[in-house]
Amino acid sequence: MERYNMLQDEGIRRFVLESESLRPAYAAGAAIAEQRIFYDRLCRHFRRPRPIGIEVQDLFVNGPDASVSIRLYRPMTIGSLPALLYLHGGGYMLGGLDSHDDICAEIADRAGVAVIAIAYRLAPEDLFPAAFEDCRAVRDWVACSGAEHGIRSDTIAIAGDSAGGGLAAALALDARDRGAPRISGQILVYPDLGGDTSKGSYVEHAQAPGLTTDDVRCYRSAYLGSSVDPALGSKFAHPLRESSFDGVAPAFLVAAEWDPLRDDCFEYAGRLQACGVPVTVRHEPLLVHAFLRARHMSKPAAESFTAIAAAVRSLAYKKELPLQAA
Cα–Cα dist 208/68, whole Å: 34
Neighbour tally for 187: CB within 10 Å: 30
Residue 86 · residue 100 · CB < 8 Å: yes
d(CA 116, CA 69): 10
Rounded to whole angstroms, the Cα distance separating 302 from 299 reads 5
SS3 267: helix
The whole-angstrom separation of Cα 14 and Cα 8 is 11
HEC-encoded secondary structure of 71-105: EEEEECCCCCEEEEEEECCCCCCCCCCCCCHHHHH
Give me the active site residues, please.
162, 259, 289
The three state secondary structure string of 134-195 is HHHHHHHHHHHHHHHHCEEEEEEEEEEECHHHHHHHHHHHHHHHHCCCCEEEEEEECCCCCC
Cis-peptide, bond into residue 124, ω within 30° of zero: yes
Q: Report which of 108, 106, 49, 99 is spatially closest to residue 74, judged by C-alpha positions.
A: 108
